[in-house]
Amino acid sequence: MGGGTKTTCLVADQEGQILGRGTGGPANYLKEGLYTVKNSLREAIARALGEGDVKQREVKILCAGLAGMDRPTDKRIIEQVFNEIIPTAQLILENDALIALIGATECRPGVIVISGTGSIALGVNRRGERARSGGWGHLLGDEGSGYDIARRGLMATLQDLDGRGPRTLIREKISRELYLDEIDELIHLLYEGNMTPRKIAALYPLVLQAAAEGDQVAQNLLNGAAAHLAETALAVIRKLGMEKENFPLAVSGGVFHNSKQIQEKFEDLMRSKVPGMELIEPKHPPAVGAVFLARARMQGRELFQA
């Protein structure tokens, strides 16, 4: 599994027993570049094989769920990378949200909403139909993600400076975190420095801190993020015709895990629209979902049985 922050690789036998585990850096090549992603994948795979005492030539099937793997061009690029790393293995290449859903529901039809550095929702209904919403990256989407919350926090800081918005504790927290003498030094960092989306997303905890201290601007940002994530989930549910069905809805990612306010607001919004959904914690991490998918392909069976 490769996301916007890290890569996790599991090596398993034909029965699904985990033999080894390895981690690496980020694996979204559209954000981090192909060179970084190659190194992340090589590192995670090498560590997993080493821990499991498995030789590269023994790998029969490689199932990868990576951020951004929805378009044919992206798949062709990443397929070449994997062919360089393990050329003898059969490759299954999917979006990271799909393997996250497989692991979260243990192959049951349902929906998952992921909010970390970026955000996306993906679902599969009882007919095996698949739909997604969001996941369009920091320039065109990722609403409700850590990056989006942090970016809006930076905007609120500059609106505070201008007098266009209310005073906010986010301003002083960002100044202290980034060692700024004046808050308008943000402009140099953002436009001339090396503030990648991942580094901006790392400022998300500052908004959480301000909200916990009673800052209304920060609290509004968290409520807004929950609303964006709920709408992303509802878009998938409507596409799949699941509004009146009973199904599991899993939430995953650092934004949900680190903010009780976002969790509770999200749940309230979803229950008011889709009373039949069951909000669950993922039963397994995404990398285990990749193992489930690989085993199913090897055995020639379908996943997501109702």
pLDDT at 302: 74
Question: What are residue 278's DSSP bridge partners?
Answer: 248
Total domain count for the chain? Answer: 2
71: domain CATH number is 3.30.420.40
Indicate the pLDDT class of residue 121, thresholds 50, 70 and 90: very high
Output 100 or 298, whichever has higher pLDDT. Answer: 100
The answer to whether residues 269 and 123 belong to one domain is yes
Output 285 or 55, whichever has higher pLDDT. Answer: 285
Supply the range of the domain harboring residue 268. Answer: 108-281
The answer to whether residues 126 and 94 belong to one domain is no
pLDDT at 4: 66
The answer to whether residues 60 and 163 belong to one domain is no
The answer to whether residues 223 and 144 belong to one domain is yes
304 part of a folded domain: no
Q: Which amino acid is at 195?
A: M
Distances (CA, A) of 259 to 41, 252, 255, 262, 284: 30, 12, 6, 5, 21
Q: Give the Cβ contact number of residue 11 at 10 Å.
A: 22
The answer to whether residues 128 and 277 belong to one domain is yes
Over range 95-101, report the average pLDDT: 90
69 part of a folded domain: yes
226 part of a folded domain: yes
221 part of a folded domain: yes
2 part of a folded domain: no
pLDDT tens for residues 198-234? 889 999 999 999 999 999 999 999 999 999 999 999 9
Angle at 223 between CA 220 and CA 229, to 5 degrees: 140
132 part of a folded domain: yes
Phi, psi of 227 (to 5 degrees): -65, -40
272 part of a folded domain: yes
Over range 161-167, report the average pLDDT: 93
SS3 of residue 279 by DSSP: strand
The answer to whether residues 125 and 166 belong to one domain is yes
pLDDT at 184: 81
The answer to whether residues 123 and 237 belong to one domain is yes
Cα 185 to Cα 150: distance, rounded to the nearest angstrom? 17
Give the CA count within 13 Å in the CB-facing half-sphere of 207: 33
The answer to whether residues 13 and 150 belong to one domain is no
Query: With contact defined as beta carbons under 8 Å apart, do 70 and 135 qualify?
Result: yes
pLDDT beyond 60 at 305 = no
pLDDT tens for residues 181-200? 888 888 888 887 778 888 89
Output 106 or 300, whichever has higher pLDDT. Answer: 106
The answer to whether residues 51 and 78 belong to one domain is yes
pLDDT beyond 80 at 71 = no
pTM: 0.85
pLDDT tens for residues 245-281? 999 999 998 899 999 999 999 999 999 999 999 999 8
The answer to whether residues 267 and 294 belong to one domain is no
Indicate the pLDDT class of residue 152, thresholds 50, 70 and 90: very high
1 part of a folded domain: no
The answer to whether residues 99 and 135 belong to one domain is no
The answer to whether residues 293 and 228 belong to one domain is no
